[in-house]
Homo-oligomer: A and B are copies of this chain.
Amino acid sequence: MQEEIYKSPKKRGKIAVFLSGRGSNFLALSDAVQSGSINADIALVFSNKKAAPGLLHAREMGLKTLYLRPKNFDSREAYDERLAEEAKKIEIDLICLAGYMKILTPGLCRKFKNKIINIHPALLPSFPGLHVQQKAIDWGVRFSGATVHFVEAEVDMGPIIIQAVVPVEQDDTEETLSARILKEEHKIYPEAVRLYFEGRLEVRERRVFIT
């Protein structure tokens, strides 16, 4: 059987950012786009929450935004199908999840295979899921960090693009550890998107090679 290899495109890309909250990673991406370090435009900021501060912020910045009310759809599948249509309509190349708190349906993951990335505030495969900074503290690990990864249907399990490590201090609270990790997130997420549109990410099996 031949190994399937995916190579990210070298092009000026169109990014959609999905968020449910303040979207601090959206702002980090937006800064990198504006400074020219990412060869892409943010063509859409989408939210499942009408009052998400990140969505309001995007609107103020003059970016195209979209809110879809989950209650208006019969199912998660119908919601994500509509979302995929909207993204295809404007020819989105890459979806960047930035605190998007709705689990993507397998259908959406398939339609955008290797075209959705996420950032997770832990060193995956340690601590998938939610409230992972507190979990890291409670578990007693000496290091945690952040992971940028491709999104697959199984949550927090897709191929890893970049990770960053931070120490966990003995007197850390969820807040102090989260802040230390977030600082790294804001570095590695733009870096991963930069590499993506430089055509430098090569996915083989579940490994990502930076070429």
Contacts and interface: CB of A to CB of B under 8 A. Distances in A.
A205 interface: yes
A145 interface: yes
A51 interface: no
A62 interface: no
Contact of A163 (B141, B170, B206, B207): B141
A208 interface: yes
B162 A142 contact: yes
A198 B123 CA distance: 31
Interface size class of A (residues with CB under 8 A): 20 to 34
A13 interface: no
A173 to B, nearest CB: 13
A148 to B, nearest CB: 10
Given A125-B126, A170-B210, A209-B170, A143 B145 contact: yes
A52 to B, nearest CB: 30
Nearest to A158: B140
